[in-house]
Amino acid sequence: MHILIVDDEERLCRLLRRALEAQRHVVDVAADGQTGLAAAQGGAYDLLILDLGLPDLDGIAVCRRLRADRVGTPILMLTARDEIEDRVSGLDAGADDYLGKPFALTELLARVRALGRRPRDEPAEPELRLDDLTLDTVGHRVWRGGRPIALSVKEFVLLEFLLRHAGQVLTRQQIVDHVWRYDFAGLDTIVDTYIHYLREKIDAGADRPLVHTVRGVGYVLRGE
């Protein structure tokens, strides 16, 4: 894979570069957010390893800019912060994986391999609909009953996945594999949290709910 590391810790970058090149990856390094963003926007990379705490443009801002520009390169976010709010912020900005510092090099390499095996996205359709709910896959907009609904990046990806499988009960693991695509302790809780976010935005004030829990199995998006 062609990998871009964006981190201002020179020693760590040297270590990661040696380890990744030993695995036959091609590695580039950027020491600040602006440089990393400009490089990643070219779309030539298979993976971006992105530090959250960059000195100019932080990792969250870089991630949001890339996703807003429709750059789909998988992002592994690194950070010394280990609070659940920081994990959620990184994932919500569009990161695919999250690894707290300090970390074992073997774990990082395993996560790189996992992201390299990530399945291709399903072909885009201009609009997905269920009852009075409409999702615009191109403009990244959502309406229910004509009312526009603002969703974060991860909320949008989750809703799109549910819509593409409307009527099908999806397990938490299936949701994790598509929306987050990595193994992370406590991820079940994050899935439940994001389902709660969707319910508040999609079903609040509606005559009937669309997001349903199937106890002991998972979740399903179902209309009349």
pLDDT in tens, 142-184: 999 989 999 988 898 899 889 988 999 988 888 887 776 555 5
Q: Which residues contact 122 (CB under 8 A, 6 or more apart)?
A: 164
State phi, psi for 41 to the nearest 5 degrees.
-65, -15
Domain boundary among 116, 136, 153: 116
What CATH number does residue 69 fall under?
A: 3.40.50.2300
What was the pLDDT predicted at 123? 46
Shared domain for 105 and 7, answered yes or no, is yes
d(CA 183, CA 113): 12
What single string gives the DSSP state of each residue in the chain? -EEEEE-S-HHHHHHHHHHHHHTT-EEEEESSHHHHHHHHTT---SEEEEES--SSS-HHHHHHHHHHTT----EEEEES---HHHHHHHHHTT-SEEEESS--HHHHHHHHHHHHTPPPPPPP-SEEEETTEEEETTTTEEEETTEEE---HHHHHHHHHHHHTTTS-EEHHHHIIIII-S--TTHHHHHHHHHHHHIIIIITT-SS--EEEETTTEEEE---
Instruction: Evaluate if residue 43 carries a pLDDT over 90.
Output: no
Domain boundary among 65, 85, 116: 116
Instruction: Evaluate if residue 19 carries a pLDDT over 50.
Output: yes
What was the pLDDT predicted at 163? 92
Instruction: Evaluate if residue 44 carries a pLDDT over 80.
Output: no
Mean of the per-residue pLDDT values of the chain: 85
What CATH number does residue 164 fall under?
A: 1.10.10.10
Q: Which domain holds residue 13?
A: 2-116
Domain count, the chain: 2
Domain boundary among 85, 116, 147: 116
Instruction: Evaluate if residue 202 carries a pLDDT over 90.
Output: yes
Residue 121 domain-assigned? no
